[in-house]
């Protein structure tokens, strides 16, 4: 489609979204989150604020009761999970989801089960092997033989096989030690630098904001504050309320 229209400002935009589970009270109460191209946007906030629910709505697992979802300017509000993938979204769920009895290659290949074009699958395979060297190095190994951080990279690689524009990452540091968490966040930055926007949910708010470009503080199903992640990190009141204390002094050397 040839068009002179300017590219949309946001790759993913959830606007005034209300959503909840069954007949229970609303979890998201008029939430707006915007993900610009080539950015990492991080959602932080207390337990139960609705962070994972935002990702479920964005990936089509939960249909919003009102509000809209746009991907690259196209309204996809009522899309189910398969159509959301076709729209350009990929979701890496919370916890560990590799199949341990299968090889790394088989796990990554599963991400392409909706892709019919063999040349495209080969191209994507090369892409993820370059982006995540551990995936290339351990290609024929059983996924269960990899460390937790390496398995997370296999999950990232699998999510990129559908050529998403935006990846939704739910708590990628869960269960990982601080050193491994740093390595996983390095991979998130690599995804961003490869042109894939990231919407990240994290309990480890400070660490996530150190990685992200934009932070959104969620509470009671609404975004209360949004802005450059570095500014949120430097805000003493925010640090006290949501980041477990005042910012640590930054070493001068």
73 lines the binding site for ligand ATP (CB under 6 A): no
70 lines the binding site for ligand ATP (CB under 6 A): no
176/38 Cα distance (integer angstroms): 26
Of residues 12, 50, 92, 149, which one binds ligand ATP by CB under 6 A?
A: 50
Of residues 163, 203, 222, 247, which one binds ligand ATP by CB under 6 A?
A: 203
Of residues 3, 47, 140, 237, which one binds ligand ATP by CB under 6 A?
A: 47
Of residues 48, 144, 236, 244, which one binds ligand ATP by CB under 6 A?
A: 48
27 lines the binding site for ligand ATP (CB under 6 A): yes
Contact 112, 162 (CB under 8 A): yes
95/246 Cα distance (integer angstroms): 29
Q: How far is the CB of 6 from ligand ATP (least distance, A)?
A: 34
Q: List Cα–Cα distances, 147 to 177, 187, 220, 231, in angstroms.
A: 11, 15, 35, 34
Sheet holding 66-71, edge to edge: 26-35, 12-20, 66-71, 74-75
215 lines the binding site for ligand ATP (CB under 6 A): no
Closest to ligand ATP by CB, 6 or 95: 95
**Residue 70, SS3?**
strand
Site residues (vs ligand ATP, CB under 6 A): 21, 24, 27, 45, 47-53, 203
């Amino acid at each position: 489609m040839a068009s002179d229209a300017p590219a949309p400002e946001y790759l993913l935009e959830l606007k005034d979204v209300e959503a909840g589970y069954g007949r229970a009270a609303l979890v998201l109460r008029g939430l707006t989150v915007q993900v610009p191209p080539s950015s990492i946007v991080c959602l932080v906030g207390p337990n139960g604020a609705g962070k994972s629910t935002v990702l479920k709505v964005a990936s089509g697992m939960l249909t919003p009761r009102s509000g809209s979802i746009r991907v690259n300017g196209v309204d996809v509000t009522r899309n189910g999970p398969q159509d959301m993938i076709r729209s350009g979204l990929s979701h890496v769920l919370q916890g560990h989801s590799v199949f341990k009895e299968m090889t790394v290659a088989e796990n990554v290949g599963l991400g392409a089960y909706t892709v019919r074009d063999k040349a495209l699958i080969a191209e994507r395979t090369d892409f993820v092997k370059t982006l995540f060297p551990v995936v290339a190095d351990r290609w024929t190994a059983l996924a269960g033989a990899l460390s937790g951080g390496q398995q997370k990279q296999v999950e990232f690689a699998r999510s990129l096989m559908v050529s998403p524009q935006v990846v939704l990452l739910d708590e990628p540091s869960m269960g990982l030690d601080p050193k491994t968490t740093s390595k996983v966040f390095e991979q998130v930055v690599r995804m961003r630098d490869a042109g894939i926007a990231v919407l990240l949910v994290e309990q480890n708010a400070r660490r996530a904001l150190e990685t992200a470009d934009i932070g959104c503080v969620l509470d009671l199903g609404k975004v209360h504050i949004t802005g450059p992640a570095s500014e949120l990190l430097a805000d003493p009141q925010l640090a006290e309320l949501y980041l477990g204390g005042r910012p640590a002094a930054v070493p001068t050397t």
